[in-house]
Structure 1
Amino acid sequence: MPIAWYFDFVSPFAWLQWQQVRELAGQREVALRPILFGALLKQMNHRGPAEIPRKREFTYRYAQWRARQDGVPMRFPPTHPFNPLPALRLAIAAGVTVDAVGAIFEWIWAHGRAADTAEALEPLAASLGIDDVRVALAAPDVKAALQANFEEAMRQQLFGVPTLAIGDELFWGADAHGFAMDYLADPAQFTRGEMARLGDLPVGLSRV
């Protein structure tokens, strides 16, 4: 089954899951698909966790706690949420390789550096072999690739990031990584017993 990982650098939970996705990518072919989380929220008419004051505070502290529990370095960037578009485009311009994606994640979440402008990313881009970051981020093919990722996410009915897509099944969030790996080892489990029943569970009440 094809495996794809949808992510946005703005998500601290994408950084947490990246540690496991990078390991998975060393064992299987994983398509790394950066997408703009804000566009996904707009499509669904949802507010993100950072747009709800008390949820924002909880989310940041929980992410920091999770990082400490997992032994993952984490330092939030200077502002959050921030505009992740330059970082997303940089990943595509650099070939969306494991090394490039990892370097961008580390720049933002291990070192707490800004990534919301071409100027902020210039030293990182140079280390990735990109001499003129402004030209690279404005390239039509880079923009088109990012849009194509979003359209594929919409086709798969994505509802959040990070999401690991295994075939047609979506596993949302860093917390679901173990669930995803268990499914990958035994996909038929979704066709048995209570798992099969949950796929067709009737809706008892809907909010208008």
Structure 2
Amino acid sequence: MAHIDYFTITLSPFAYLAGTGLEEVAQKHGATITYKPFNLMQVFEQTGGTPPAQRHPARQAYRMQELARIAKRNDLPINLKPAHFPTNAAPSCYALIAAQDAGGGDLGALCHSFLRACWAEEKDVAQDDVVRACLEQAGFDPKLADSGLLAGAQTFEKNTEEALQRNVFGAPSYVVGDQVFWGQDRLSYLDDYLSEIG
């Protein structure tokens, strides 16, 4: 059975625009997924990436055009300038990690709820009430927002180090063995690869 390590952050617009594509590909191939929220800014610093706000205006403008085009193609609502971006992704990332450890709910739904909160619902995923509501809606105990903080922080750092070791430099990244598929537009390549390895 194939396994996908999903390196993501709960603020990535491109992770949001992937919708449920990863989960659909995994289900098609009977693959398992480990959600690995990580510190994207730290990875940018160490791999030569540039945060969106520091990019050349031409790149910033193109990014906005791309987000709008992808959202339209995937029939997903999007606010190109959300009220709470950037914000502190740690609380929602830690909650996703804690939920994965606890089990009992729908991790894909939880990940998407955080992304949707930022990019379509004008909510701040750094706020406890938003994190708790997303946990509850996905079938998890909302108290995980508190109880999972320490373990979540530790795993978040481990995920960041692992991302660097495995040549991950952006989000979303889908990793199978030594194969890295970066971006929501590479899900079809991931699908092909899983077909090849059976």
Conservation of the 8 A alpha-carbon contact between 2:43 and 2:169: yes
My pick for the range that moved more, 118-127 or 39-48, is 118-127
Conservation of the 8 A alpha-carbon contact between 1:36 and 1:88: no
Residue from 49, 67, 79 that aligns with 1:46:
49
Aligned partner of 2:38 in structure 1 is 35
Residue from 50, 57, 66 that aligns with 1:62:
66
Report the alpha carbon displacement of residue 100 of structure 1 after superposing the two structures with TM: 1.9
Conservation of the 8 A alpha-carbon contact between 1:15 and 1:105: yes
Q: 1:151 & 1:18 partners in 2: Cα distance?
A: 26
2:74 partner letter: D
Equivalences for 1:1-208 in 2 at 5 Å?
1-27=2-28, 28-54=31-57, 55-76=59-80, 77-95=82-100, 97-118=107-128, 120-125=130-135, 127=137, 128-131=140-143, 133=145, 135-136=146-147, 139-186=149-196
User: Deviation per CA, 1:161-193, whole angstroms, max 9, x where unpaired?
Assistant: 1111122111111111112212222259xxxxx
Q: 1:173 & 1:166 partners in 2: Cα distance?
A: 14
Which TM-score applies when normalising by structure 1?
A: 0.77
My pick for the range that moved more, 163-172 or 76-85, is 76-85
Which TM-score applies when normalising by structure 2?
A: 0.80
Q: 1:132 & 1:33 partners in 2: Cα distance?
A: 17
SS of alignment partner, residue 71 of structure 1? coil
Q: 1:130 & 1:122 partners in 2: Cα distance?
A: 5
Q: 1:120 & 1:182 partners in 2: Cα distance?
A: 36
Q: 1:132 & 1:155 partners in 2: Cα distance?
A: 29
1:121 partner letter: V
Unaligned 5+ residue runs, structure 1?
A: 189-208
User: Deviation per CA, 1:93-118, whole angstroms, max 9, x where unpaired?
Assistant: 22272232222222222323111343
1:129 partner letter: D
Q: 1:136 & 1:117 partners in 2: Cα distance?
A: 15
SS of alignment partner, residue 26 of structure 1? helix
Conservation of the 8 A alpha-carbon contact between 1:16 and 1:72: yes
Whichever of the two has the greater Rg, that structure is 1
Unaligned 5+ residue runs, structure 2?
A: 102-106
SS of alignment partner, residue 182 of structure 1? helix
Q: Matched residues, percent identical?
A: 21
SS of alignment partner, residue 114 of structure 1? coil
Q: 1:181 & 1:155 partners in 2: Cα distance?
A: 24
Q: 2:144 & 2:174 partners in 1: Cα distance?
A: 32
1:40 partner letter: V
